[in-house]
Chains A and B, each alone.
Chain A
Amino acid sequence: MSEGAKEGSSKAPSQVGESHSLAPRCVTCQDEAVPVTVLELHADAQALVENGSGQRALVAIDFTPEARVGDILLVHSGVAIARLDEERS
């Protein structure tokens, strides 16, 4: 993990290991994904993100490599699976 990632996670109230706080309810529905805003991009395909309640976590962005700071991502089980696209909405 890069220095940046460490710094980011220390600011976050929940690190990746405890990122369940991002999920409002049952994660095993498996079709639940939480919208979050990207705050910082880190090394190793990770991003520090914040959900609507201000809770932060590090998530993997391997599947949304186009993610930039300010983007809204959908996160499912610690991995971003989609980026919200304003043009398509």
Chain B
Amino acid sequence: MKYVDEFRDPALIRKTADEIARVIERDRHYRIMEVCGGHTFSIYRFGLQRLLPENIELVHGPGCPVCVLPMGRMDDGLAIAARPEVIFTAFGDVMRVPGRRGTPLEMRAKGADVRMVYSPLDALKLATENPDRQVVFFAIGFETTAPSTALTLLRARSLNVDNFSVFCNHVLILPAIRAILDSPDMRIDGFIGPGHVSTVIGARPYEFIAREYGKPVVISGFEPLDLLQSILMLIKQLNQGRAEVENQYARVVPWDGNRPALRALAEVFAVRPFFEWRGLGFISQSALRLRDEFAAWDAETRFSVPGVRVTDPKAAQCGEVLKGVLPPNRCKLFGRECTPEHPVGALMVSSEGACAAYYHYVHAMVTAGD
């Protein structure tokens, strides 16, 4: 397919990797964070770390919304799912995310009406087809996904669907990056900026990272060549002492974002004063709630939720891994108590989580070689 095949061209990939090897300063260590879980997945899937010189370290960031969701929010959602009148809908990976009393899939096995959807629009359709039931969509995700939830709520309002509501867990990427930058043990030299979040918010909002923190940012696509080009652009900035926002993914990411999507977000959502992130703690103004005008479609208003708080297990070192202080396999629990089958920490929960991706691709390879 056009725009995909050419970004997997082995000759171009080799050429870019060679250029990276040529331009790096040998006595310098480059620590680059890819913020987005999709980039983490691509890096492992295509084995990109092996194409890079040893002094370029890729650090995996907080960009997996499933991983950063506090267990208490899952418990609140599952409390709604347990109600007999409710059809509880969510994306596929949410189905495996454990609350204290099990996952949505396990709830389904016990008789709850839990259904997987690909789009919140599918959940709305389910509501119109089941007027005697309450359909709840468990919304989760960054600015990539929030527009589809916003669009669904706008449609629910215009169609006057009153048996549909959203349990909103949408989070914002920029406050999370700022929290990492403000952390005293932060040691990141530059950022690979999220590609698809940026199709919505644009490249401009990242300028504070360059201006206030002096760190370069390159917005990147997801194919191997995209990521290598972005790493090369970052290395060149660092070598030249520049800190700018550059857009490697300009074929998709407009500098000012997607205006209709941003308008829909502004119409439907307000920013919460604070929200808890697994591994990072409470971050102010880092998540979205439904505006009061949409209270009729807000599951947190419609159903009384317990407001559960669950403390992260102390032994898990998710916070250090998220901030790039520790590689996944150096956490005390990695691969022993904490595995993708039995995740203890946040980053093992979804396949996009830094620890789960590391476990599947690197750990499996190492143990196979033993």
Q: CB within 8 A of A74: which of B120, B140, B199?
A: B199
What B residues does A81 contact at CB under 8 A?
144, 147-148, 196, 199-200, 258, 261
Q: CB within 8 A of B4: which of A32, A35, A63, A77?
A: A35
Q: Say yes or no for A33: interface residue by CB 8 A criterion.
A: yes
What A residues does B318 contact at CB under 8 A?
none
Nearest CB in chain B to that of A51: its residue: B1
Q: Is B140 in contact with A82, judged by CB distance below 8 angstroms?
A: no
B165 to chain A, nearest CB (A): 18
Q: Say yes or no for A76: interface residue by CB 8 A criterion.
A: yes
What A residues does B116 contact at CB under 8 A?
20
Binary contact readout B324-364 vs A (1 if CB under 8 angstroms, 0 otherwise): 00000000000000000000000000111000000000000
Query: Nearest 10 pairs between A and B by C-beta?
Result: A78-B119, A89-B251, A30-B141, A28-B93, A52-B1, A20-B118, A82-B199, A29-B352, A79-B148, A88-B250
Q: Which of A30-89 contact B (CB under 8 A)?
A: 30-33, 35, 37, 51-52, 60, 62-65, 72, 74, 76-79, 81-82, 84-86, 88-89
Query: Chain B interface: which size bin?
Result: 35 or more
Q: Is B145 in contact with A16, judged by CB distance below 8 angstroms?
A: no
Query: Chain A interface: which size bin?
Result: 35 or more
Q: Is B252 in contact with A85, judged by CB distance below 8 angstroms?
A: yes
Nearest CB in chain A to that of B91: its residue: A28
8 contacts across the A-B interface (CB closer than 8 A): A19-B118, A20-B118, A30-B141, A30-B142, A62-B260, A74-B199, A79-B148, A82-B258
What B residues does A18 contact at CB under 8 A?
118
Bound-state Cα–Cα, A86 to B250, Å: 9
Chain A contact residues: helix, strand, loop or mixed: loop
Q: Is A28 in contact with B66, judged by CB distance below 8 angstroms?
A: yes
Instruction: Choose the segment among B33-41, B46-54, B298-306 that binds chain A (4+ C-beta atoms closer than 8 Å).
Output: B33-41
Bound-state Cα–Cα, A19 to B125, Å: 13
Q: Say yes or no for B65: interface residue by CB 8 A criterion.
A: yes
Q: Is B118 in contact with A25, judged by CB distance below 8 angstroms?
A: no
What A residues does B91 contact at CB under 8 A?
27-28, 77
Nearest CB in chain A to that of B171: its residue: A30
Binary contact readout B23-60 vs A (1 if CB under 8 angstroms, 0 otherwise): 00000000000001111010000000000000000000
A49 to chain B, nearest CB (A): 12
What A residues does B268 contact at CB under 8 A?
none
Nearest CB in chain B to that of A78: its residue: B119
What A residues does B351 contact at CB under 8 A?
25-26, 29
